[in-house]
Amino acid sequence: MKAQIQVTLLIAAALYMGWGLTLVLAPGTVHPLLSLGPYDSVTTAMFGAALLGMMATFVIAAYDPEKEIVRASATGMAFVGFTAAYLVFIAKSMPLSVYTVGSLAVDLVCCGVLFLSEARLDFATKRRPAARGRGKKRMALAR
C-alpha cells in the first residue's frame, strides 16, 4: 500500500514539475496551451511556481507518506483538477486539447488513487485490535 501511494505521488510530482517548469521558464510559449485569455507573464510564472511548490510537497510526501500529508496532497490535486475541469468544460476559458484533458485525467486519477489508498490504509489500521498493555508489562519486567 505504501509503495502504491509513493508511486502515485511521484507520478503527480512529475506532472506538476513538467507544467511548473515550462510555465516558469517559457510562459509565453506554454500560455496558449492552457488559456484562451490574455497573456500575463507574471501571473503565468506565478502559477508555475505554485505548481512547483505542490510538486515539492508531493516529493516530501512520497519520501515519508504520513496520513496527513497524503490527504493534503490529494486535496490539493482535487482543487487543481476540479478547477481545471470547470475551466475546460463549463467556463470554456481553457482549451479542450490533449494536453489539458490528459493532464486533468492524470491529476484526477492520482487524486482518486491517493484518497482510496489512504482510506483503505486508515480502515486497515482501525480494524487491527490494539495490544492492551503488553508493552507496559514488558517494560516493567525489563527493569
What would the pLDDT profile of 16-71 be if each residue is shown by its tens digit?
999 999 999 999 999 998 888 888 989 999 999 999 999 999 999 999 998 899 99
Contact 136, 102 (CB under 8 A): no
**Max Cα separation, the chain?**
73
**Whole-angstrom distance, CA of residue 13 vs CA of residue 129:** 35
Grouping H, G, I as helix, E, B as strand and the rest as coil, residue 57 is helix
| Of 17, 101, 90, 12, residue with least CA distance to 51 | 17
Taken as a whole, the chain contains a residue count of 143
Instruction: Give the domain ranges of the chain.
Output: 2-142
Mean pLDDT of the chain: 88
What would the pLDDT profile of 115-127 be if each residue is shown by its tens digit?
998 888 777 777 7
Which pTM value belongs to this model?
A: 0.82
All three cell numbers of 24: 516558469
**Whole-angstrom distance, CA of residue 82 vs CA of residue 88:** 10
